[in-house]
Structure 1
Amino acid sequence: MDKNKHAKQLLDRYLKDQCTPEEKALVEEVYAVQLESTEDEFQYDLDYTAKEMEIWDAVHLNRKTKVVRLWPRLTAAAAILIFAVLAFLWAVNPAEPDLRIAGVNPGINKATLTLSNGRRIDLVAANNGALAEEGSASIRKNHKGLISYAADKSGTRPEAPVYNTLTTPNGGYYTLTLADGTNVWLNATSSIKYPTVFSGGSRQVEITGEAYFEVAHDAARPFTVIAGDQKVEVLGTHFNINSYASEPGIKTTLLQGSVRVTYQGREQMLKPGQQSAIKNNNISVYDVETDDVIAWKNGYFEFSNTDIQSAMRQISRWYNVEVQYEGPVTTETLTGRISRLRDISEVLKMIQQTKIVNLKVEGRRIMVKE
């Protein structure tokens, strides 16, 4: 049997009675073992989310194949069966090249806060509690390592806008709550500039890199995000902006509510499930899988017909490593999902096993060859 066959295909063939005798025997053998050892668990306490995470962490990335999420349509027994088959296929794969990189770890919760006077605060090293007084706001760091802003309501402090900037490095991410209650998730190598207190009739911030917003509703004060030459205006909604300079254009994806995207005098209104892309001085709108777009926020690399260069840029930012190409770059694409908490060697191994490219490690550099 082809060791690299996707488990869903094998399960579908088994349920349709289309397996060869050898395949059928294998499925029934591994299922019987799982059933005997986990009968009570799968009948009464099957965690579908956990099983999905385990499956996609284990399965090979497919070439030019759309990922199909299995769990909403499968029984508990079928879910256990798929996991068992995948575990077997993974175990019998031949050894792969050593792709370990010493001293390289997944990204962690870290950022630098730059105050209005230029003072920089390392938010990992800073103690919990009060950090600074900025304008009419107090900045505090909580026990989870996150900061928040509390406006002074006494009216004794100045109301002139005071701006802070939060920056994440390669290998870092951060979650921030703004003074109005808006929550912001920053991906690696990103930044957000914002007032410590929103005053007047509007709320405006500026970002670089990638950020996901859950905007606090305030009909009297629209919320605006500036990303390069793009402006996104909302009242209260959930959306993602990818504006990395290294990526081809700026992408804004709407999950809830509505937003207006403006670029060089042109406007587009987005509906939930839509993404705008600014490229070659034009705004295009597409329907997208929003779960794929915000997978980074939920702790995953999600590759959906993703070209190898885009995938490697994500890996480079997250693990803070260098990527170098040898010779022509393949146009084949990757599809699959893996946790961003995995060791980099596991991520590289899954890409290597697609046979799309060959990978080699030299220090903190990943060499990519077709």
Structure 2
Amino acid sequence: MNKIEFLTLTEKISDGTATDEEIRLYNAYYNSFQKTSGAWVEELLGNQEEIDTELSAHIRAAVRQPHSIRKVIWPRIVAAASIILCLSIGGYFLLRKPSAQQTVRVSKNDIAPGGNKAILTLAGGQKIVLTGAKNGLLANQGNTRINKTADGQLVYDASKSESGTTIYNTMTTPRGGQYHLTLADGTNVWLNAASSIKYPTAFNGDERLVEITGEAYFEVAHNAAKPFKVSSGGQTVEVLGTHFNINAYADEPAIRTTLLEGSVKLTINKQKAILKPGQQAFISGGNNDLIKIKAVDVNEVMAWKNGYFIFNDENIESIMRKISRWYDIDVTYQGDMTGKEFVGSVSRFKNASEVLRKLEATGIIHFKMDGRRLQVMP
């Protein structure tokens, strides 16, 4: 089990969403650490024998409950195990025992997490707010039918005889929104918050070209005769059929393309690069658009799609950009934020105040929220 997997599992256990098998896996990993590390710090973790007793009791109680109604609340145990992990790998973990000086202050009305929100812009300029749109047929574009499914997905159904002028639609998610789209060729696209995708209602030519801003995850339908291309921030990603994620937010320092399955070719300013699964291409405009490739943990990259924030030695400014987009809040800073990096996992479906409290529990950052304005302080 790697660090990200452990952090995600810990969060699921804290939420009460872990399965019996996941709880057993957590217990086995915890016990394995006990045997191999020996680095127990009682002033941080408490009495080791007492923690072991409580851990066993909580796991036995959780395993006895059916999956559908399990609600396991054991912050002290999660806190202890979290600190154990930190002692072995370094860094901070969000679910540590809360600091007594925790000062997050939230206005009367808390901010709920984001959800399925998007606006569809048709070729003629008509806009359809998908959040309130009824299920079923929304529009016809040429010979393509646009349907909204019961689970909130937008699906394009193109006639095989589609030909002639290419018609483009655009889907845009606001801050606090995300959406799942199935293109006419069967390719699935998930848009993160504050993102957009422009695409043809049917792929008539010898290639399938779409354009994105923000962040999107693609599961491309295979078609050897028609390469699938994604344009974003000056780069082009070309595939035949594969799974990949592109993060191309304008306020991020670089464009990141991460490959999960298959193979992709990147092109920017006459540079080309081929990615293998588990690799990420990093293109920074401040470095003459050089393509850099590194191995990454795809679980961390795909956390947003899977309903989590996962931070792996991530600085507070980067974390706040994610939180700002998902909760639709404006962030300002007071004081020096240098060196404030975090490791941890928290559900994206918690209210903003709960996410902020978990960050504050580290004791190195504090917040003051007024409406949708958030001030970050050391």
- TM-score with structure 1 setting the length: 0.82
CA contact (8 A) 1:13 1:19 kept: no
Match of 2:138 in 1: 131
Equivalent in 329, 350, 355 of residue 342 of structure 1: 350
RMSD: 3.5
Provide the C-alpha distance between the structure 1 equivalents of 2:39 and 2:247, rounded to a whole number of angstroms: 44
Question: Which residue of 2 is the match for residue 209 of structure 1?
Answer: 214
> After alignment, is 277-286 or 160-169 more displaced?
277-286
Going from structure 1 to structure 2, the CA distance change for 1:133 and 1:30 (only over 3 Å counts) comes to same
Match of 2:230 in 1: 225
Cα offset for 1:150?
1.1
State yes or no: 1:179 paired with 2:203.
Answer: no
Match of 2:261 in 1: 256
Distance 1:192 1:63 in 2: 43
* Contact 1:215 1:223 (8 Å CA) reproduced: yes
User: 1:166 is matched with which residue?
Assistant: 171
Query: 1:207 corresponds to which letter in structure 2?
Result: I
Distance 2:345 2:364 in 1: 16
Q: Secondary structure at the match of 2:299?
A: helix
Judge conservation of contact 2:106–2:370 (CA < 8 Å) in 1.
no
Asked if the contact 1:163/1:194 (under 8 Å) is kept, the reply is: yes
- 1:30 is aligned to 54
**Which residue number corresponds to residue 199 of structure 1?**
204
Deviates more, 1:135-144 or 1:114-123: 135-144
Match among 89, 104, 112 for residue 105 of structure 1: 112
Offset, 1:24? 3.1
Closer, same or farther in 2 for the Cα pair 1:63/1:267, shift >3 Å? farther
Q: Which amino acid aligns with 1:115?
A: L
User: What is the distance in 1 between the residues matched to 2:173 and 2:127?
Assistant: 13
Q: Residue deviations 1:172-218, cap 9 Å, x none?
A: 00000000000000000000000000012110000000000000000
- Name the stretch that deviates more: 139-148 or 223-232: 139-148
* Aligned position for 1:15: 35
Indicate the larger mover: 101-110 or 237-246.
Answer: 101-110
Alpha-carbon deviation of 1:14? 4.1
Unaligned runs of 5+ in 2: 1-6, 11-25
Rounded to whole Å, the distance in 1 between the matches of 2:68 and 2:146 is 43
Tell me the residue number matched to 2:316: 308
One-letter code of the match for 1:27? I
One-letter amino acid of the counterpart of residue 302, structure 1: I
Deviations 1:19-56 (A, max 9, x none): 58972321243145336645656xx9899xx99xx959
Gap change, CA 1:369 and 1:143, over 3 Å in 2: same
Q: CA shift at 1:119, angstroms?
A: 0.4
Determine helix, strand or coil for the equivalent of 1:356: coil
Which residue does 1:273 correspond to in 2?
Answer: 278
Q: Which residue of 2 aligns with 1:369?
A: 377
Partners of 2:104 and 2:298 in 1: how far apart? 35
CA-CA distance at 1:346 after TM superposition = 1.1
| 2:245 equivalent among 234, 240, 243 | 240
Q: Note the alpha carbon deviations across 1:105-154, whole angstroms, 9 max, x for none.
A: 1011010000000000000121111111112211111112221111124x
Counterpart residue identity of residue 315, structure 1: I
Give the letter aligned to residue 138 of structure 1.
Answer: R
Q: CA deviation at 1:357?
A: 2.0
Native 8 Å contact 1:231 1:263 kept in 2? yes
Cα 1:260–1:166, aligned 2, differ >3 Å: closer, same or farther? same
Tell me the alpha carbon deviations over residues 190-248 of structure 1, each in whole angstroms, 9 at most, x when there is no partner. Answer: 00000000012110000000000000000000000000100000000000000000000
Structure 2: distance between partners of 1:104 and 1:20: 37
Structure 1 runs not aligned, ≥5 long = 1-5, 69-85
TM-score of the superposed pair, with normalisation by structure 2: 0.80
Match of 1:30, SS?
Answer: helix
Shift, 1:104, TM fit: 1.5
Cα distance in 2, alignment partners of residues 193 and 354 from structure 1: 41
Distance 2:331 2:87 in 1: 21
> Which secondary structure state, in structure 2, belongs to the residue aligned with residue 367 of structure 1?
strand
Rate the CA distance shift 1:348–1:220 in 2: closer, same or farther, 3 A: same
**What is the identity percentage for the equivalent residue pairs of Structure 1 and Structure 2?**
44
- Cα 1:24–1:236 change in 2 (3 A) is same
Q: What residue in structure 2 maps to residue 360 of structure 1?
A: 368
Deviation of 1:352 (Å): 1.1
Please say if residues 367 and 376 of structure 2, whose CA atoms lie closer than 8 Å, have aligned partners that are also in contact.
yes
Aligned residues of 2:104 and 2:360 also touching (Cα < 8 A):
no
Q: Secondary structure at the match of 1:143?
A: coil
